[in-house]
Amino acid sequence: MADSTDDLPEVPLPKPEPKEIDEKLALQLRHQAEDAVLRGKPNGEERCDNCLFYMNPDDKISYCWHPKLRILVGGEWWCQWWEKTED
């Protein structure tokens, strides 16, 4: 049995492109990252997943609840607001 879509002309799907909201958010997040001196790698022993503000230390990506950030960050990232976890 033929598929009912066999007779339809092939219409190329539009190439996915970022929308205005994506560009706005990207710029906003870039400014936040610059303010925090956010880096995608650890600073010696200091890294997001051993920082006080990293929500779930067992996850490779987690929410950073530092009041100036409030974004998702990677466990191996680091920023200038790193703080030792409370024991």
> How far apart are the C-alpha atoms of 85 and 87, rounded to whole Å?
6
Which residue in the set 3, 12, 16, 53 belongs to the binding site for ligand SF4 (CB under 6 A)? Answer: 53
Pairing relationship of beta strands 71-74 and 61-64 according to DSSP bridges: antiparallel
- Is residue 75 close enough to count as binding ligand SF4 by CB under 6 A? no
Q: Which residues contact 74 (CB under 8 A, 6 or more apart)?
A: 40, 48, 60, 61
Chosen residue from 29, 42, 61, 81 binding ligand SF4 by CB under 6 A: 81
From the list 1-9, 13-21, 22-30, 77-85, the region that binds ligand SF4 by CB under 6 A is: 77-85
Query: By the criterion CB under 6 A, which residues form the site for ligand SF4?
Result: 38, 48, 51, 53-54, 64, 66, 69, 73, 77-79, 81-82
